[in-house]
Structure 1
Amino acid sequence: MMSKLKKIFTSKTFYIIGASTIALGALLLILADTIIMPAYTNYDEGLTVPDVSQISLDEAQEQLETYGLRSEVAERRSNTAYPADYVIDQTPSPAEIVKPNRKIYLTVNTESNPTVKVPDVVNLSYRNARLQLQNYGLDIGTVSYESSRFKNRVLRQSIDPETVVPKGTLIDLAVSDGLGEKMVTIPNIRGLRLSEAQQKLQKVGLRVGEIRFKSSKEVDPNVILDYQPKKKQVVIGKTLKLVVSERHNLKEESESGAIIDTTQNIAVPDTTKN
């Protein structure tokens, strides 16, 4: 048996068949690389994408078909600068080189802005509320923080749930700062300058809200005269209203008969007396 195999592998015919097989394989590889695959993938062919924006959808589709390209409406959105059913964007962009029969995705203008119902995001976390609004095509406007127990939970929304609004509408949110249970003592800020009072309140976790100025002859300007609420303790994060002194602007008459301008402390001669 071994002698027969040895005779076959050492024969001239075996080498001829082997060499022919290798040569045929190499030829097939060359044909596949230079002819078959390029023909299949349109290797030597390319088309320049035409600009079909700012024309009607029908015209755009017809023009792309003429170029040997396909089209698909990928999105519809409102843009008042264009008529309805006009192409306002495309992908790939104009002047790009693509393969024949490539699909061009079109963004088409709608006659009016699509509307959505506002979702209920109260009691959701701020992160989940933001994602929920984005999923509905809405955006977050102003975010204000208020004292409440659970941090970053939405307390209120500016537009009621189920209200129909245009996409892109801004929804304002009131969000909890997580300071809803801890009580703090209001420090004694009467008689302090405004900047000192603000720092003192900030240290204990209180906020300054409305500031009302009151004219005073006895107290220097920018000194705390009073505050609201008048409580010993409040919830941390509470906002206080301050009453602050300002310069007294009334004119007074001195013993010498001169008129004193109290806004500048300058004595002005009284020209009204003879």
Structure 2
Amino acid sequence: MSLLDDKFTILSEEPSQGFLHTYQVQTLEGLKGHLYWFEVHSPEARTAFHRYKNAIRRLENQGFLPQGVLVSANPGRYYVFWPEQPKAAPKPRRLKPILELLEPFGYQESDLEATEVSGRPLVGRLYPQLAPASTSSSRSEQNPQTPPLPIDPSTVRPQEPSPRIEMPHKPTPHAHPETKARAPQRLHLGSWPGWLPGLLMLALGSLALWQAANRYLNPPEYVLPDLVGKTPRQALEAVHAYGLKVEFAEGSDVSLPKDQILEQTPDPGTRVKPGRRLELVVNKPRLGSVPTVSGRSLEDARQALEAAGYRVATITRIASGDTADTVLASIPSEGQPLRPGEGVRLLVSTGTRPPVRETLLPDLTGLTEEEARYILTVAELQAQVVQVASGAPDGLVVGQEPGPGVVLPREAVVRVLVAAQP
């Protein structure tokens, strides 16, 4: 069977919808559920995934998600896993807080499967949307204008003519024979300093108004630079003059430095106008810690490490009075931080108790000096480190005296040959 992200076994696959692939999967621990896999190779796919992811984060912050929901936003691994939930149908009024949280993201009641755990409504599964929710129609379309009501002629009263008022005739005054018509005033050019500043301010205001209207109707376009690999501060300084709405999201890539931009949407080289949304994914690597495996059986320890995202690197067996295949210690020890996917070395009991005051010398070749000292201390032996010229990496054990498998008395000295550059 095929594996997704080395964690999920594909049980069945539904028909793909563009960049969205839907699978019914089973985890390595036997947990079944649905997995939505996004092929993020276009701005539309990035927008759909991040809108879906942000809606799930909002539900998680408010406590409306069940246990086991997994969201991955790592480069090349964009998916969400929903474990199967018991069938339950909460009352519609109890779903109101959930629907209010999802409303800004365009999700409705038909986009989710609800369930109940301990009397609390939860979202058992949220179906992704391939495109943003369509905007509602204008108010005029929803409420068309009501046609005028028909007029009943019986209710209309005829309008009575208004009485005509006769104004007394006023004789027209006669012009005095000595009165002369006043000539219109002329604007003398000698008064131009008074009206020139006003004319200049009018011209400047008209120019500013024209520039503002032109900028509003024809906003400038900018070409987005490549911001991947920069810090958030450097990215903000690079697009400060563009007037964009910059939003940040978190991603995790332990192989890259912290607070480094992993992705950007839209892609570099895209022509954008002021007001466009720019989403930047900032690296926040999440380091786990080695779980407690000492005292467990080898199989239980292996499952615990795999559940925590680690693997068993090597197994060193020594004689001990503990039950066979019981883990005595781990390298690194429990609680130590470790990158996901790294290997953990286990020190395991053979189940045979050595003779009194004697112990079986394990194989130390290939370990580091620190690891060899640790194993000899557990075996109650003393280490005598001798550096020898070798082409192996510095600090790597290339030999031991006596060899592995020799029975030695407790507190005996073992020569550990450690590589050093000639």
Is the TM value for this pair above 0.5? no
Q: TM-score, normalised by structure 1?
A: 0.36
